[in-house]
Amino acid sequence: MKVDFYRHQLTEKHGQAMAAVVASPFLTTGKIARGVEEQLCGYFDVPHAALVNSWTNGAVAMLLALDIGPGDEVIVPAATFIATANVVELVGATPVFADVDPGTLLMESTHVRERLSARTRAVIPVHLYGQMCDIASLRGMLDTEAENNVSIIEDCAHCFEGSFNNERPGQHSDAAIFSFYATKNITCGEGGAIILRNTTLHEKLLQSRLHGMSAIAVDRFRGGHYNHWDMERLGTKANLPDLLAALLPDQIAEIESRLPERHQLARRYNDAFAGGPLRLVEPRAGCRNAHHLYTIGVPKGQRDEAIAALNAAEIGVTVNYRAVTEMTYYHERYPQASSACPVSVKWGTETLSLPLFPGLQQVEQDHVIRIVEEKIYPLIAT
């Protein structure tokens, strides 16, 4: 039986929403995007939201809005997708890699504290797999221990609908950034969003999101005539067109009702693997897990054999993630970084992700579980 790693849930109605934009004169960022931003402000209870065309471009725009660049350091976990570190490199700043908790794989205040320096300007904690880091504690630690003002940018690519101590992302950070990439819990193919509370920073972000221009396209033609614009700061091109934004309103409205299915699927895997030889991610107390990914650890370095066995059984798998510090680019630039992040490096050699998405059928999941027990368990035992 073939089991996909992921299947999206976009349907006819999403296609119709997109077709309505095609039938209108205005294709790029306009009133549909504005509507989604308002929807996000309501969902997250924050005053500002800005849609972007990817997490990556949004994060670059955010770093530009914070005036972070050459000479500045930004602390990121080594256990994450490369984009978290890449955006720091892209603005000319220096990523400083911190390790993560061996149970939850989350970067906490204790890991960040060890990497603080006089040049630290920001921290990008990653809510890995859907569990949230403790941002309130991180804020408190930075306020007492950091020499300068250090911004917190939450990487929420895995955590739209998660919470910690009943608080969603965005409450204790300077900004929280989401991804609507093809496989994420909410998707428009490529896209993302930034939520934030500070009005001045939001205004700067609106500029850095669009070349640094002082007015977005709809405003340039406001009043039925052309209005001159200026450029006050350097920006990138990170706005999301209405064409793609049209896919989002229904998904945001339905995300809460989808979460129980993710929880149920994760619970079935957990129950099946309990007491077995796999390393499982520890649940973090107080977290409502968004369960973006279900990852397992195959100890004894037999991970790649396990992937081959799953592939042979036509089961889609991915690796999330080999440590960023182990990538050739980072290894060459920061050769000491891996030795400072042993937990991330080890997990990166052990981990693989199994199919988990709303719509995964029970027979499909049973097949995955059976193959894991029959093919992967013996690899670990020997």
Contact pattern for ligand PLP over residues 113 through 132, marking x by CB under 6 A: -------------x------
CB of 366 to ligand PLP, least distance (A): 28
Select 64 or 126, whichever has its Cβ closest to ligand PLP: 126
Rounded to whole angstroms, how far apart are CA atoms 345 and 301?
Answer: 12
Rounded to whole angstroms, how far apart are CA atoms 67 and 62?
Answer: 9
192 binds ligand PLP (CB under 6 A): yes
DSSP string, 56-93: HHHHHHHHHHTT--TT-EEEEESSS-THHHHHHHHTT-
175 and 87 Cβ atoms separated by less than 8 Å = no
281-310 burial, b if ≥16 CB within 10 A, otherwise e?
beebeebbbbbbbbbbbbeeebbeebbebb
**Binds ligand PLP by CB under 6 A, chosen from 29, 131, 179, 325:** 179
187 binds ligand PLP (CB under 6 A): no
**Binds ligand PLP by CB under 6 A, chosen from 33, 75, 157, 265:** 157
181 binds ligand PLP (CB under 6 A): yes
Among 130-138, 153-161, 218-226, 331-339, the segment contacting ligand PLP (CB under 6 A): 153-161
CB of 254 to ligand PLP, least distance (A): 20
Select 43 or 160, whichever has its Cβ closest to ligand PLP: 160
164 binds ligand PLP (CB under 6 A): no
**Contacts to ligand PLP from residues 277-296, by CB under 6 A:** none
Select 205 or 376, whichever has its Cβ closest to ligand PLP: 205
CB of 129 to ligand PLP, least distance (A): 9
Select 162 or 309, whichever has its Cβ closest to ligand PLP: 162
Tell me which long-range contacts 336-341 makes (C-beta under 8 A, separation of at least 24): 337/78, 337/97, 338/78, 340/97, 340/98, 340/99, 341/77, 341/78, 341/79, 341/97, 341/98, 341/99, 341/100
Select 43 or 55, whichever has its Cβ closest to ligand PLP: 55
Give the count of residues interacting with ligand PLP (CB under 6 A).
14
Closest CA to 135 of 156, 161, 160, 105: 156
353 binds ligand PLP (CB under 6 A): no
Sequence length of the chain is 382
**Contacts to ligand PLP from residues 35-94, by CB under 6 A:** 54-56, 80-81, 83-84
Q: Which residues bind ligand PLP (CB under 6 A)?
A: 54-56, 80-81, 83-84, 126, 155, 157-158, 179, 181, 192
